[in-house]
Amino acid sequence: MSSEAIAVTTPVAEVPLSRRFGRVWWCALVVSGGLVLLLGYTLVSVTILGVGIWGVNIPFVWGFDLINYAWWIGIANGASLFAAILVLRRHDLRTAVNRFAEGVAFFAVICAGIFPIFHLGRPWLFYWTFPYPATFEVWPQFRSTLTWDFWAISTHAIVTSLLWYVGLIPDLATLRDRARRKSVQRIYGIFALGWRGSVRHWAYHQRAYRLVAILVLPLILIMQSTVAFEFAVTLVPDWHETRQPLHFVATGLAQGLSIVLLVAVLLRSGLRLGRYIDEEDIDLLGKLVLASAIVSGYLFLDEVIAALLAERMAQEAMLNRMTGDYAGLYWTAIVYSVLIPQLLWFKAARNSTIAGVFVGLSIGVGIWFDRFSIIVGGLQTDYLPSISRNYQPTLAETGLFLGTIGLFAALLLLFVRFLPVVSMFETRHDEHLEKSS
């Protein structure tokens, strides 16, 4: 084979097809696999013993379950929204980032889905939220945000996974055709569904893919708002605000972008994909993360201003969140999700792997503290003179949270190992357009 015939995307295809993958990958998989076992253990124990093993109690009806749910959903929605916008704008960045941004969204929604199911207390009856003709002849109450959430999570999981898979089909065909072992070829071949690259097929494929990407945009906005409505429709003073959906959508986008940045810099250095995820891509991603962090900052400010204009009860609730027992959470959120990302004003920071990892994690942590602060800080001051008690997560809850992080990492590691992390056909298409123009 002459050297010019080697396709531009060969190195991407060689990653999943290589026989060995190095020690670091195995170590990471063992660690995250251990956390997945922990997840299994905490889930089994909460199923057998009940939610009594969690730290939640009146007035703290919601604790880690909702904090982590809202956090994972934020990552899922932010990453999905970003991926969809890139596809629709036909932005150059999409070839580099889209595939794993959709992957991040899909894995995060799996992690998110675990929490609402298990906080039901009797998770094996989760299907009661589905309108089916039950023997007691009672239907779900559709005026409740919790039923909207059931549809939102399941729709997000189905639509993002389908979109991700359909986008993967042509690349799976490349892997099928390049596989050296018969067994590997069979497996990729089955999942490639017999894709043969017919120009007719491409035309339909592209149209459908873009159309569903459009559909993802409203889905994300409705879904993230639904999460926020779960708080806003209650009478808890600090939650009962119409600005809640905006806060969740905007900070969720920051969070999704930051995790995409984190994964991008790790993939770039870990898999040596510098040519496909180039410096310009990372630089642009850094700027986007910075912009979204500034928007988060604006929303934190807006929270204060909205409280100043509100009635006394809401003002007190806000003030309590800033200065009360949980003030640490509030300020940590601001430092991590707004102040630290300002590092990205510097070009050196945007181009550095360490800074990318640091800022990516920092926003993730910051928004996690924000969700913690909103949920626990809001419940602390109810209209009722509450029992003087503070919320503290128990080991079972912490284990559950760490377990979902392990699950997310394990899914990501498997994805990196067995699938092309960069869309190969989009890369070829771009190279072709560049050459012909």
Partner 1 sequence: MTPLPYGIMAEFRRAEDLVEAVRTARRAGYTKLDAFSPFPLTDLAHELGVRTTIIPWIAFLAALVGAGLQYGSQYWMNVVDYPLNVGGRPLNSWPAFIPSTLIVAILWAGAATLIGLLVILRLPRLHHPVFAVHDFRRASEDRFFLCILAEDPIFMMQEARAFLETLSPLAVREVPACD
Q: Applying CB under 8 A, which residues contact partner 1?
A: 5-10, 13, 131, 137-143, 147-148, 151-152, 154-155, 158-159, 162-163, 166, 169-170, 173-174, 176-178, 189-190, 193-208, 211-212, 215-216, 218-219, 222-223, 225-226, 229, 425-426, 428-429, 432, 436
Q: Judge whether 375 and 66 are in contact, CB under 8 Å.
A: yes
Question: Across-strand partners of 57?
Answer: 60
Smallest distance, Å, CB 342 to partner 1? 36
- The C-alpha atoms of residue 207 and residue 403 are separated, in whole angstroms, by 38
Smallest distance from the beta carbon of 2 to partner 1, in angstroms? 10
Give the residue with the Cβ less far from partner 1, 151 or 358: 151
Give the residue with the Cβ less far from partner 1, 24 or 211.
Answer: 211
Q: Please, which residue, 155 or 315, has the CB nearer to partner 1?
A: 155
Q: What is the DSSP string of 208-242?
A: HHHHHHHHHHHHHHHHHHHHHHHHHTS--TTT--T
Min. distance of Cβ 133 from partner 1 in angstroms? 10
- Pick the closest to residue 170 from 198, 145, 133, 144 (CA basis): 198
Q: Are 71 and 371 in contact (CB under 8 A)?
A: yes
Cβ of residue 97: shortest distance to partner 1, in angstroms? 18
User: Which of 254, 274, 270, 258 has the alpha carbon at shortest distance from 96?
Assistant: 274
Interhelix angle for 244-270 vs 279-309, to 10°? 160
Which residue, 207 or 347, is less far from partner 1 as judged by CB? 207
∠ CA 397-399-400 to the nearest 5 degrees? 65
Q: How far is CA 298 from CA 232, 264, 295, in A?
A: 20, 26, 5
CB of 161 to partner 1, least distance (A): 10
Q: Is the Cβ of residue 214 or residue 354 nearer to partner 1 in the bound state?
A: 214
Alpha-carbon gap, residue 79 to 77, rounded angstroms: 5
| Closer CB to partner 1, 190 or 304, in the complex | 190
Least separation, in Å, of the C-beta of 192 and partner 1? Answer: 9
The nearer residue to partner 1, 7 or 361, going by C-beta atoms, is 7
Distance CA 159, CA 173 (A): 22
Query: Terminal CA-to-CA distance of the chain, rounded, Å?
Result: 27
Measured from the CB atom, the residue of 139 and 345 that comes closer to partner 1 is 139
Strand partners, 60: 57
Distances in whole angstroms, Cα of residue 176 to Cα of each of 196, 205, 239: 11, 19, 52
CB of 355 to partner 1, least distance (A): 34
- Give yes or no for a contact between 103 and 417, defined as CB atoms under 8 angstroms apart: no
Residue type for 63, please?
G
- The residue among 7 and 319 lying less far from partner 1, judged by its C-beta, is 7
Distance in Å, CB of 138 to partner 1, minimum: 6
Query: Residue 137 CB, nearest distance to partner 1 (Å)?
Result: 7
Cα–Cα distance, 154 to 109 (Å, whole number): 9
- Find where tokens 């595939």 sit: 99
Q: Which tokens in the block code for residue 184?
A: 């590997």
Query: What is the smallest separation between the CB atom of 105 and partner 1, expressed in angstroms?
Result: 14
Amino acid at 102: E
Between residues 216 and 289, which has the closer beta carbon with respect to partner 1? 216
Provide, rounded to whole angstroms, the least separation between the CB of residue 114 and partner 1.
20
Q: What does the DSSP 8-state code read for residue 57?
A: B
Cα separations (Å) of 333 from 295, 317, 339, 365, 398?
14, 17, 9, 8, 19
Nearer residue to partner 1 within complex by CB, 138 or 387: 138
